[in-house]
Structure 1
Amino acid sequence: MENYHKYLNISELEKKWNFYITTVGYSKTEKNIDYPNPKDHPLDHGFSWNKGRILDGFYVVFITSGRGIFECESIGECAIHAGTCFILFPGVWHRYKPDLTTGWEEYWVGFKGSYPQQLMESFFDQKVPIIKTGISNKLIAAFTDLLSTVHQAEIGYPQMITGQTLQIIAVLNRVKLMEEIKDDPESLWVSKVIFLLQHQLDRNLNIEELAAEFPISYSKFRKVFKSLIGVAPNQYHLELRLHKSKELLEEGNMSTKEIAYRTGFTSPHYFSRLYKKKFGFPPKVSRRG
């Protein structure tokens, strides 16, 4: 891939979207090359290693080959290797550069807006700006699609690339959560049970039996589940089944009775009562046709 970057002009229309992209790019810096090239960046984005910089928006930088150094005021200096993302937070001093003996390849996206600010502040910590993603095919594909959309510049593309950037943020969040789960056996147990619940919506499961394989009492497991997910495991499974029944009703291919049985309710009357309690109207209102 050839080096490519673009700094976008932001109109009031983009700002109304509350999530807008300021810059995207890909760059391969060969070994023994000064970094960064000041000709590649405007004054408000360029920086020197000696001074570093402070931005007024967010950046996600993905290193796919080579190695280098990243430093910011919250964590100090850290070695960066291929398969690593680092997040630049607004108002936080930072600097980074590839190792002269290897160079590196990087993708990046910069963005602003009230919506991404809410996401980043809620799900990411500026004290932990480095995420070890590995050479993620999903991230590479997402960045490649992002760059392609910007390069083609079709009508409405500024709004399209916000969705593509949101996908990148979602992948990073998932990687971060998986890393946290590895160090937390209780979260791993909850994750395993959630997987089973999401894939068994056709019956009312005995969740105590599912949790019995873990070295923890069910009351403790239920407490951990509720603290992580927000509801108890039985309630979580019930809501999954009700939402699935709503999807089936809206498709209009089965009767209410059939859908009740398909989603693990032995009594259509009981199903209708729970459905109305959940959504505020009876199942027949959701039916098409």
Structure 2
Amino acid sequence: MENYNRTDGFEGEKMIDLPEAVCEAFCQKTPAFNQFYITHIGYFPNAKRHYIQRANGCKDNILIYCLHGKGYCSIGSHHFDILPNQYLILPATSDILTYGADNEEPWTIYWVHFTGPNIELFNQSLEIFGYRGPVTLALNKRGLSVWEEMYNCLTGGFSIDNLRHANLCLHHFLASFLYPEPINNQNEDLNCIEAIIGYMEKMIDSRLTVEEMAARLQLSASYFSTIFKKATGMPPMDYFIQLKMQKACQLLYLENMKVKDVAEAIGYEDPFYFSRQFKKHMKISPVLYKEASRRHLA
């Protein structure tokens, strides 16, 4: 049973409900998208008297982003107040679910319902639980831009292409909240990493050490290695080698260069050592890679 208090809607509101039959047909035709997908999407500005109670919970996850004003939410025995620039992801649940706008300062919210056959596993893996509560973040311009893209796709109709486009955007939309852009000293660290990656690309034909790269940024080698791995997922030297192997692939594929010349172009004096490194990382020898590329071009 569901109770609503939305007599006349809200001036300037935007809302799209995707029929269940449309969602089912979309999942059948494009099974790669059925892990989770949009079921409803909306924007309620100054949503005075907005109130919804779902006695049997909701099969969808619901992301609510409060841009202005205030609101509240109760899920099971947990109650939360929601303030400006806070978002809340309500997980799919069978518990009683209630949410609505503050009487004095009604919220302005962007919201999306999404679900899928593995929504519980999705929630577990990202630790989306009913007791988590709202999360504060800086104004999420990226998320709002992606929301508009999703909404505009769906206003154009429920064609397969529009549904694919909107649901690909859904991943980006969720990521903008779960992994917001870093701030303060994290931004400084990322700027350092971007700078040194650019330097690696310029020095692709040279030999670099961690100490040289760290010194260029006026950082200790240990701290540089830590922040680099945190940002990229791999140590600096491994990343530099990967860049070299990518460049080698381009030269073998596009320039039709000899293996010896490719090795020299990316800073390897010994072509046999280069060949071993190439095979280690690409799972194929440079000679075979070159032959396969030429067959592809033909």
TM value normalised by structure 1:
0.71
Which residue is equivalent to 2:109?
A: 106
Q: Pick from 86, 89, 102 the counterpart of residue 87 of structure 1.
A: 89
CA RMSD, aligned part only?
Answer: 3.8
**Structure 1 246/105 Cα, relative in aligned 2: closer, same or farther at 3 Å?**
farther
In the other structure, the counterpart of 1:28 is 44
Indicate the SS of the match to 2:69: strand
Q: How does 1:69-148 map to 2 (within 5 A)?
A: 69-72=72-75, 76-81=79-84, 83-91=85-93, 94-113=97-116, 120-126=123-129, 128-148=132-152
Q: Which position in structure 2 is the counterpart of 1:160? A: 165
Structure 2 contact 65–110 (Cα < 8 Å) conserved: yes
Aligned to 2:194: 195
Gap change, CA 1:13 and 1:29, over 3 Å in 2 = closer
SS at match of 2:182: helix
* Other structure's SS at 2:57 match: coil
Q: SS of the counterpart of 2:67?
A: strand
AA at the equivalent of 2:49: D
1:44-78 deviations in whole A, cap 9, x for unaligned? xxx32xx7763223222222232323444696423
Give me the TM-score of the superposition, normalised by structure 2: 0.69
- Distance in 2 between the 1:154 and 1:117 partners? 26
Is this contact kept in 2: 1:14–1:159, CA < 8 A?
no
Q: Take 1:253 and 1:108, find their aligned partners in 2: how far apart are those partners?
A: 50
Bigger mean CA offset, 258-267 vs 151-160: 258-267
Deviations 1:228-252, CA, capped at 9 Å, x for gaps: 86643322332243235435544x1
Closer/same/farther in 2, CA of residues 159 and 19 from structure 1, 3 Å limit: farther
Unaligned 5+ segments in structure 1 are 37-46
Instruction: State the AA in 1 paired with 2:81.
Output: C
**How big is the shift at 1:146?**
0.4
Task: Report the equivalent of 1:4.
Answer: 15
Assess if the C-alpha contact under 8 Å between 1:8 and 1:22 holds in 2: no
Unaligned runs of 5+ in 2: 1-11
Q: Cα distance 1:53–1:62, how it changes in 2: closer, same or farther (>3 A)?
A: farther
Cα distance change on mapping 1:257 and 1:195 into 2, 3 Å: farther
Deviations 1:185-238 (CA, angstroms, capped at 9, x unpaired): 8x88975664345332333432234446688673x7757866886643322332
Contact 2:42/2:111, CA 8 A, preserved across alignment: yes
Cα distance between partner residues in 2 of 1:165 and 1:237:
33
Amino acid in structure 2 at the alignment position of 1:198:
I
Contact kept? 1:8, 1:21, Cα under 8 Å: no
> Which structure would you say has the larger Rg?
2
User: In the alignment, is residue 14 of structure 1 matched against residue 13 of structure 2?
Assistant: no
Cα 1:272–1:189 shift into 2, 3 Å? farther
CA separation of 1:61 and 1:104: change in aligned 2, threshold 3 A: same
What is the distance in 2 between the residues matched to 1:122 and 1:206?
A: 37
Superposed CA deviations along residues 5-52 of structure 1, whole A, max 9, x for unmatched, are 213322155153333424232232436x3113xxxxxxxxxx32xx77
Match of 1:273 among 253, 276, 287: 276
Determine what percentage of the aligned residue pairs are the same residue.
17
Larger mean CA deviation between 133-142 and 161-170 belongs to: 133-142
- 8 Å CA contact 2:88, 2:133 repeated in 1: yes
The aligned counterpart of 1:44 is none
Match of 2:3 in 1: none
The structure-2 alpha-carbon separation of the partners of 1:239 and 1:65, relative to structure 1 and needing over 3 Å to count, comes to same
Note closer, same or farther for the CA distance 1:265–1:153 as it changes in structure 2 (3 Å cut).
Answer: farther
CA 1:162/1:22 → structure 2, altered by over 3 Å: closer, same or farther? closer
Partners of 2:252 and 2:79 in 1: CA distance = 55
Structure 1 residue 166 displacement after superposition = 0.8
**Residue of structure 2 equivalent to 1:42:** none
